């Protein structure tokens, strides 16, 4: 199945997965960019944003759990995030953390909060519509994901 065919299925979990990849890249870039500010609160939230990008990477690309040396606790935590509702909750928590970065001052971390919120919304819509989670084959879904879990 090509990428175009995946998007044509109108399955919100695929939209969420691809938005998650985009969000991961954005969180990584914004996390690094905001580390070099003079506000301690923004530095803390940018470190959390950077950490979120790595969590998203392992959530959305399950093959990495096999390749990268991680702790058994981390592997167990990531493997629990399999359903659309669990993914929506995880992204929702990360979004709330980034929205709280506004307590320090307005920064570009707002973009990460918006994208994390959109990704959580896509997974929530997939859960509400009763759509089963379908991993993108481009990102190592289907057979690879089943082999890992």
Task: Please tell me the predicted confidence (pLDDT) of residue 45.
Answer: 93
Is the pLDDT at 146 greater than 50? The verdict is no
- Structure token pair of residue 13: 């979990």
Q: What is the pLDDT of residues 14-59, one digit of tens each?
A: 888 889 999 999 999 999 999 988 889 999 999 999 999 999 998 8
Question: Taking residues 128-143, what's their average pLDDT?
Answer: 69
Find out whether 133 and 127 touch, Cβ atoms under 8 Å: no
Dihedral angle of Cα 41, 42, 47, 49, to the nearest 10 degrees: 120
Domain that holds residue 19: 3-148
Dihedral angle of Cα 118, 121, 126, 128, to the nearest 10 degrees: -170
Report which of 120, 128, 131 is spatially closest to residue 89, judged by C-alpha positions.
120
- Structure token pair of residue 111: 């973009």
Provide the percentage of residues in the chain whose pLDDT is more than 90: 45
DSSP 35: T
**pLDDT greater at residue 141 or residue 30:** 30
Is the pLDDT at 7 greater than 80? The verdict is no
Task: Please tell me the predicted confidence (pLDDT) of residue 148.
Answer: 46
Kindly report the pTM of this predicted structure: 0.84
Dist CA 5 CA 74 (whole Å): 33
Report how many domains make up the chain. 1
- Structure token pair of residue 85: 């509702």
């Amino acid at each position: 199945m090509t990428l175009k065919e995946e998007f044509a299925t109108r399955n919100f979990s695929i939209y969420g997965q691809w938005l998650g990849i985009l969000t991961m890249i954005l969180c990584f870039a914004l996390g690094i960019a905001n580390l070099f500010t003079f506000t301690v609160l923004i530095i803390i939230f940018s470190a959390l944003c950077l950490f979120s990008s790595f969590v998203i990477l392992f959530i959305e690309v399950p093959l990495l759990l096999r390749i990268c040396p991680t702790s058994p606790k981390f592997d167990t935590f990531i493997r629990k995030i399999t359903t659309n509702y669990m993914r929506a909750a995880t992204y929702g928590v990360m979004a709330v953390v980034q929205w709280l970065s506004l307590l320090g001052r307005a920064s570009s971390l707002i973009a990460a909060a918006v994208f994390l919120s959109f990704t959580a919304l896509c997974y929530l819509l997939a859960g509400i519509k009763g759509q089963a989670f379908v991993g993108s084959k481009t990102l190592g879904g289907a057979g690879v994901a089943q082999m890992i879990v």
